[in-house]
Structure 1
Amino acid sequence: MRIEGKAVEVYIPNTGRLPLLVPGTKVRLEPGKGKLPWRLSGMRYKGKWVSIDATIVNGLFERWVEEGRIFKGWKILAGEWEYEGKRFDFLLGRGNEKMLVEVKSCTLERNGIALFPDAPTLRGREHLERLIEWVGEGKRGCMVFVTSLPGIRGFMPHDETDPEFGRLFREFLSEGGEAYLALFSWSGTLKEFLEVSCV
């Protein structure tokens, strides 16, 4: 990154490839908390500020559940909950029902369709494998893709980047799993919460 023409090292809180972050893109930086002096929090895309910080999406999801904006009637029972040797972001409960939830940050789009992943994701594939087992036991399981990209109207797995993720995602849905797309503003306000179906 360059600040006033000077090259500086910046911490990027996202493990993806971030293909939309191209040279010349305007970005937002915050003071770093670790070894590097700056932390990248967002970028300018199609005239809007977009979050690329994958570390904030769990906090947003938790807040939206607690406020009753999504999954009304459900409560967060645990975060970082382990199932079959794999940690999941949240375990939700409603009466005797349990729902296993994995939240993913989505920072890639094409023609108004949010795409995930933007890099091959072994972790994402393993989450789907366990979720398929979970819903196979008759329980509710879901993936929530969170993005602040502008103009988004739907979601698809990014088969070009990780075809196995796409295959597992479709199997997960066909077995009764659920997927949602959460659209939020730069300020963290939930704008829409859309159910995902794909072919």
Structure 2
Amino acid sequence: MLIPFETPLREATLLRRYKRFLADIRLPDGQEITVHCPNTGSMRNCGQPGDRVWVSLDYKPGRKLPGTWELVEIGSGQVACIHSARANRVVAQALQQGLITPLAGYPEVRAEVRLPEGSSRFDFLLSGGGRAECVVEVKSVTLALGKVVGAFPDAVSARGQKHLRELIEVVQGGRRACLLFCVMHSGIEQVRPADEIDAEYGRLLREAAAAGVEVLAWSVWPQPNGMQVRGALPVVL
């Protein structure tokens, strides 16, 4: 399944990323502009000066920046989506179409749901069909370590650790819970915790899996014409 972008992307060359959310690019006509970098992580191994990138441009009046950085070409033709919010949008459509088979069969898919018994907000709540409700938390994976191995997180993530503790509580409360790694990098073929970056996250991920939290990884290949939902990848704990 190919999920197209809302507007056609423009190819450009990355000049630099700075102040976390800004990136300077050069368009094919030589024009240099600053666009939004929609990624809060370190973006390790994703984007060096001179890399080919793709951006969505929108020159609406009142908009602070004229566009958003979406994709980057890494190495020998591999492409990653650095727009981390895309993961939830892709997963939402994939869930509704039943493409993520372990989570298929739920007629109701609700996004950004807060459970009555707690203050946590989760990415998705699946319900209906006579099945136990399933809480789903999505994490975008773009960090490639080695030839085919992807890892999460790319920086110490207190927020990610908190989500794992909360998913364990969800299972203990009688609901189904799933941590879904949305792998938006065409060169990644398996996923593992990035213990060398955030050892506590790795520990909690293994604890969550042992407690009954389902840990899945799904491959999504970014392309200039859209995001292609492919299939399951192994998670190595």
Same fold (TM > 0.5):
yes
- Out of 156, 160, 170, the residue aligned to residue 124 of structure 1 is 160
Q: In structure 2, give the amino acid aligned to 1:151.
A: G
2:135 matched residue in structure 1? 100
Q: CA deviation at 1:148?
A: 2.6
* CA drift at 1:109: 1.1
CA contact (8 A) 1:76 1:90 kept: no
- TM alignment of 1:152-191, pairs within 5 A: 152-186=188-222, 187-191=226-230
Counterpart contact for 1:178–1:196, Cα < 8 Å: no
Q: CA deviation at 1:44?
A: 0.4
- Going from structure 1 to structure 2, the CA distance change for 1:147 and 1:96 (only over 3 Å counts) comes to closer
Q: What is the Cα deviation at residue 160 of structure 1?
A: 1.8
Deviations 1:4-40 (A, max 9, x none): 5665322111111111222221111211574112210
Deviations 1:35-55 (A, max 9, x none): 112210010013033211111
Report the secondary structure of 2:88's partner residue. Answer: helix
CA contact (8 A) 1:103 1:143 kept: yes
Q: Distance in 2 between matches of 1:195 and 1:54?
A: 21
Match of 1:142 in 2: 178
Judged with a 3 Å threshold, the aligned counterparts in structure 2 of structure 1 residues 76 and 157 are, in CA distance, closer, same or farther, namely farther
Q: Is the 8 A contact 1:125 1:168 kept in 2?
A: yes
The residue aligned with 2:54 is 28
User: Aligned residue for 1:12?
Assistant: 37
Q: 1:61 aligns with which of 82, 86, 91?
A: 91
The corresponding residue for 1:38 is 67
SS at match of 1:119: coil
Q: Which residue of 1 aligns with 2:81?
A: 51
Matched, 1:113 2:145: no
* Secondary structure of 1:97 counterpart: coil
Q: Does 1:2 align with 2:15?
A: no
Once the two structures are overlaid, the 10-residue window that deviates more, 155-164 or 69-78, is 69-78
In the alignment, structure 1 segments of 5+ residues that lack a partner are: none
Contact 1:107-1:147 at 8 Å conserved across structures: yes
Partner of 2:15: none
TM-score of the aligned structures, taking structure 2 as reference length: 0.77
Query: Scaled by the length of structure 1, what TM-score is found?
Result: 0.91
Task: Give the greater-gyration-radius structure (CA).
Answer: 2
What is the identity percentage for the equivalent residue pairs of Structure 1 and Structure 2? 33
Secondary structure class of the residue paired with 1:164: helix
Say which of 77, 84, 90 aligns to 2:124: 90
Cα 1:158/1:150, change in 2 over 3 Å: same
RMSD: 1.8
Deviations 1:88-141 (A, max 9, x none): 100111414111100111110112111111112121111111101111223211
Tell me how far apart the structure 2 counterparts of residues 62 and 26 of structure 1 sit (CA, whole Å): 28
Contact 2:152 2:192 in 1 (8 A): yes
2:123 and 2:212 map into 1 onto residues whose CA distance is: 20
Q: What residue is the counterpart of 1:133 in the other structure?
A: 169
Alignment partner of 1:151: what SS? coil
